Amino acid sequence: MPPKWAAFCILFFVNCDKSTFVYNYVIDILLHIWYIYVIIKHKVGADMKIGILGAGTWGIALASLLANNKNDVTVWSALPDEIEALKKTHTHKNLPGAILPENIVYTADIEAACSGMELIIFVTPSAFIRSTAEKACPFIDNGTILASAAKGIERGTLKTMTDIIEDEIKKCRPHLEYKVAALSGPTHAEEVALGLPTSIVASCADEAVSLKIASAFANSCMRVYTNTDVLGVEICGALKNIIAIAAGILRGMGFGDNAKAMLITRGISEITRIGLAMGCDRKTFMGLAGIGDLIVTCTSVHSRNNRCGELIGKGKTYAEASKEIGMVVEGYFALEAAIELSKKYNVEMPITNAVYDIIKNNRELRDVMRELMSRNIKNELE
């Protein structure tokens, strides 16, 4: 830090009352200045070699963003036909209007997407994160950052996506040096691919790693925040999909804005309760990865979880709804793990249980809704 700035900071910290609004406001400004200083002065993360494992809508949207930021991006898919279509058209069938940068490299060879990379981002559906990490492990270099942009919890083990990646690395190459991180927030691929304003959270226990990731992503359309509460960020990302299914069910049943607001508010309360029981930071749930992601997932036309719920609310089975959507509905796959977490930590999760009853136990929608609305009166803050 330049000497004049250092002197100012020392004087400010010594003399200012730390309980005041001014103190907090100035601290926020100084952190933003330091963030910009690190990126510009040291060019942290500039022109990174990045491998993206997964060529679905989110993987391709991230590839487009990162390639436009002058990073060297390689995308891997296990589906050769998918790779060939991307090479030929520079478009993705589920990202209408988005033209992909021609400098993105596409491959069906996972070694090509991992070897020599500074950052590898896992963007497959959550059910395939373990098998993808197992395939990638032999080709990861020492010092690589491994980031998960998938959202889910593994049934049975109750591991998050970064836990799974670490688990597979330890099995395959226990002496490999690496860092793990999670990417989350209100970031629908359809908007990111078009360059619409978006904000994302880069979460790692090591703040320097989060900053490095942030500098690869940040531009005039993508605002990046860091967070050291990796578990909290991942719990939010997994459980909000279940609440989004519930929001869709309410809309499909013909309920209005009051019901939607109630559902989102009590949904974040439910997610926060389980997160606190697991040792997460309460502030994470009030941030982009928590309430921010929940709002967009419960209200957006781009949300496949929300759309799935709406179709169920209109009388379709989960199988019929998921077939019509044609893409992975992550909230469905998180249900079993969420119920297991609820039991393990003895935390009440009525909305999650209601969605489980509707989808897994084929309960009547209005019976479940009536039970939810008839629960014992309680203090909102509990």
Distance (Å, rounded) from C-alpha 102 to C-alpha 87? 9
- pLDDT of 33: 60
- pLDDT of 15: 59
- pLDDT of 180: 98
- What percent of the chain clears pLDDT 90, i.e. is strictly above it? 86
Q: H or E segment at 267? A: helix 257-277
**Residues 313-356 pLDDT 10s:** 999 999 999 999 998 899 999 999 999 999 999 999 999 999 99
Whether 249 shows a pLDDT value over 70: the answer reads yes
Whether 170 shows a pLDDT value over 90: the answer reads yes
- pLDDT of 349: 97
Q: What amino acid positions are annotated as catalytic residues? A: 240
With beta carbons less than 8 A apart as the criterion, state whether 220 and 246 touch: no
CA angle 241, 242, 243 (to 5 degrees): 90
**Residues 48-104 pLDDT 10s:** 999 999 999 999 999 999 999 999 999 999 999 999 999 999 999 999 999 999 999
User: Considering the chain, what is the average pLDDT of its residues?
Assistant: 91
Distance (Å, rounded) from C-alpha 204 to C-alpha 180? 7
- What percent of the chain clears pLDDT 70, i.e. is strictly above it? 88
Higher pLDDT, 251 or 40: 251
- pLDDT of 382: 77
Dihedral sign of CA atoms 357, 363, 364, 370 in order? negative
Confidence class of residue 218 from pLDDT cuts 50, 70 and 90? very high
Dihedral sign of CA atoms 241, 246, 251, 253 in order? positive
CA angle 332, 326, 63 (to 5 degrees): 90
Whether 23 shows a pLDDT value over 70: the answer reads no
Whether 371 shows a pLDDT value over 70: the answer reads yes
- pLDDT of 74: 98
Average pLDDT of span 175-203: 97
- pLDDT of 21: 54
Confidence class of residue 41 from pLDDT cuts 50, 70 and 90? very low
**Residues 107-145 pLDDT 10s:** 999 999 999 999 999 999 999 999 999 999 999 999 999
Whether 44 shows a pLDDT value over 50: the answer reads no
- pLDDT of 216: 96
Average pLDDT of span 199-220: 97
Three-state SS for 334-373 is HHHHHHHHHHHCCCCCHHHHHHHHHHHCCCCHHHHHHHHH
> Residue 97 carries which DSSP code?
T
Average pLDDT of span 165-171: 97
